[in-house]
Amino acid sequence: MTPQHRRQFLTRSAAGLGALASLLSEGRASEPAPQAKPRAKRIIYLFQSGAPSQLDLFDHKPGLKDRFAAELPDSIRKGQRLTGMTATQESFPVAPSKYTFQQHGKSGAWVSSLLPHTAKIADDLCFIKSMHTEAINHDPAITFCQTGAQLAGRPSIGAWVEYGLGSLNKELPAFVVLVSSGSGNLADQPLYDRLWGSGFLPSKHQGVKFRSQGDPVLFLRTPDGISDTGRRRTLDDLAALNKLRQGETGDPETETRIQQYEMAFRMQSSVPELTDLSKEDAKTFELYGDDARKPGTFAANCLLARRLAERDVRFIQLYHRGWDQHTNLPKQIEGQCRDTDRASAALITDLKRRGLLDDTLVIWGGEFGRTVYCQGKLTAGDYGRDHHPRCFTVWLAGGGVKPGQTYGETDDFGYNIVKDPVDVHDLNATVLHCLGLDHTKLTYRYQGRDFRLTDVHGNIVKKILT
C-alpha cells in the first residue's frame, strides 16, 4: 500500500462527512475544460507597469482643447473616489493632451504622435478603450490584473494557463518572465516575484524570470571540475532519494522538485541557445531598433519574446516599468514611448511575417489609466495625471482577436465609460477563451473552496473575437 500523509488519509476517510471532506480536500484540482477550437497556442503579455496615460496615447478627446484649465464638472466626477495624492486639491483643472492625434489604416484608429510605429500597425490591433478596474493604487491594481485579486497569494495568469494547458516545449519553462525599466519614471514602483508566482497551485507552475545580466537563470552551469556525466549521475541519485521521500509523505512539491531539477538540466543547453542573439540578421535589428542589442531593454525582451514564441513557450510575460507620471508627464512619457513604441510594433510585425501571429495572442496594457484633470501645477507645456481606474485603454493582436477594431467608448472627458465596459475579469476570461479554456471550469480547490482566475466574475468579450 502506498503511504499517505495525514491530510490525504483524512480526506479519503471523511468522504461521507460532507463539509469535513470539503475542508480537507485542499489542493485538489478539477479537470480543465478545453473548448473545441482554441484560437491561440500561446500568450505574450506586454505589461506596462505604472499605468500609461490613455488620454495621451489612444483615447482622443479633441474637445478638451477648448476646456484647458477649466474645472472638471461635478457632473463628470460624480463624487467618485480619488487617491490621497489629489483628493485634497482645491482645483481639478482639465489638462488636454499636448500631443496630436491622427487616424491610421483602413480601420481609422486614433493614435497619438507619441506612437508612430504603433500607428503603422493599427490595422493589426484591437483597441479596448473601455477597460476599468477595482483598484486605485499600483500594487493592488497590478496584482489584480495578474492574479484576479487585489491581495497577494493567488496564482498568476501565467500559472493558471500552464496548469490548464501544460507545456509545449520540454526544453524550456512553459512560463517565462522578462523585466525591463524605462526612461520615464526611474523611481517607479517595484515589481515583486509574487506577480508571476503560482500561489496555491503547485510551484512547478510559477514563472521563471530570466535575468538580463550574467547567466539568464542562476545555477544552470555545471560547476568547474564537474563533468556532465557526473552531473547527470548526481541528479539521478537525487531523484531516487526524492522519490523515496515522496512515497513516505505524498507531498506533491517533492514531485515538483524532481521535475524542476530535470528542467534545469535540460535548460543548460536550451537557454544559452535561446538568449544568443548573434544569429539574428541585420534586418531584424533594424526592425526592433538598436536597443534590441542591449540586454535588459524592452526592445531586447521583445526580440526574446519572439524567440520564445518560436520555441512554443506557452506564456511569455514582459513587464516594463516607468509609466507612473504624476508630474512632468510630457518629459517622462516621451522617453517611455521611445523605449516601447518601436519594439512593440516590431514584435507584431515579426510574428506576422513568420506566421506566428495567428496563434499567438499579444496583449499590451497597464493596471489602470490616468486622470483628465491635472495633478499639481498646470501649464501650457507641462502637466501630471493621477491614477484613474474608471477607464483606460489596452490593445490586443493575433490569437483569434479581430484586427482593425476599436471597442468601447468613454465620455467627452475620458473620465467615465459610456459604451461596452470591460473589466479585468472580462479580459482574463477572454484571454483564457482564446486559449481554448473555459474560465468558469478552470478551478483549483484550496481551503475548502474552488478558486479560479476570474473569481465569480468575468464575461467573454465575444464582439472582439473572430
Give the DSSP per-residue string, 163-215. Answer: HHH--S-TTS-SEEEEEEE-SS-TTPPP--GGGG--TTS-GGGS-EEPPSSSS
pLDDT of residue 27: 55
Give yes or no for residue 242 having a pLDDT over 90: no
Q: What is the mean pLDDT of residues 228-247?
A: 78
Mean pLDDT of the chain: 90
pLDDT single digits (tens) 391-447: 999 999 999 999 999 999 999 999 999 999 999 999 999 999 999 999 999 999 999
Q: Side chain identity at 423, as an amino acid letter?
A: D
pLDDT of residue 139: 97
Give yes or no for residue 11 having a pLDDT over 50: no
Name the band, by pLDDT with cuts 50, 70 and 90, for residue 14: very low
Q: Are 160 and 317 in contact (CB under 8 A)?
A: no
- Alpha-carbon distance 294 to 259, whole Å? 33
Q: List, in sequence order, every residue forming a beta bridge with 363; answer none if it has no partner.
A: 45, 396
Going from the C-alpha of 125 to that of each of 104, 223, 405, 411, 462, the distances in angstroms are 11, 47, 7, 22, 16
Name the band, by pLDDT with cuts 50, 70 and 90, for residue 10: very low
pLDDT of residue 245: 82
Q: Range with the lowest mean pLDDT among 119-123, 142-146, 208-212? A: 208-212
| Of residues 28 and 406, more confidently modeled | 406
Name the band, by pLDDT with cuts 50, 70 and 90, for residue 35: low
Q: Are 187 and 177 in contact (CB under 8 A)?
A: no
Q: List, in sequence order, every residue forming a beta bridge with 131; answer none if it has no partner.
A: 392, 422
- Which residue, chain included where needed, has cell 496615447? 57
pLDDT single digits (tens) 47-77: 999 999 999 999 999 999 999 999 999 999 9
Q: Range with the lowest mean pLDDT among 7-11, 35-39, 153-157? A: 7-11
pLDDT of residue 34: 55
pLDDT of residue 231: 73
Q: Are 303 and 277 in contact (CB under 8 A)?
A: yes
Domains and CATH numbers, the chain: 29-218+281-464 (3.40.720.10)
Name the band, by pLDDT with cuts 50, 70 and 90, for residue 18: very low
pLDDT of residue 264: 72
The alpha carbon of residue 115 and the mean position of all alpha carbons in its chain are separated, in whole angstroms, by 21
Q: Side chain identity at 244, as an amino acid letter?
A: L
Strand, helix or coil for residue 362: strand
Name the band, by pLDDT with cuts 50, 70 and 90, for residue 294: very high
Going from the C-alpha of 230 to that of each of 233, 234, 270, the distances in angstroms are 5, 6, 20
Give the DSSP per-residue string, 13-62. Answer: HTGGGTHHHHHH-TTEEPPP-B-S--S-SEEEEEEETT---HHHHT---G
Name the band, by pLDDT with cuts 50, 70 and 90, for residue 229: confident
Give yes or no for residue 147 having a pLDDT over 80: yes
- Alpha-carbon distance 104 to 102, whole Å? 6
Which residues touch 215 (CB under 8 Å, ≥6 apart)?
A: 221
Give the helix/strand (H/E) hosting 321. strand 315-321
Going from the C-alpha of 422 to that of each of 2, 332, 389, 408, 464, the distances in angstroms are 49, 28, 12, 8, 11
pLDDT of residue 235: 74
Give pTM, 2 decimals: 0.90
**Which is nearest to 463 in space by CA: 433, 425, 442?**
433
pLDDT of residue 12: 47
**Which is nearest to 197 in space by CA: 250, 151, 141, 158?**
158
Terminal-residue alpha carbon distance, the chain: 52
pLDDT of residue 418: 98
Alpha helices in 187-324 (DSSP H): 228-249, 252-275, 282-288, 298-310
Give the helix/strand (H/E) hosting 85. none
Q: Range with the lowest mean pLDDT among 11-25, 206-220, 268-282, 406-420? A: 11-25
Q: Side chain identity at 321, as an amino acid letter?
A: R
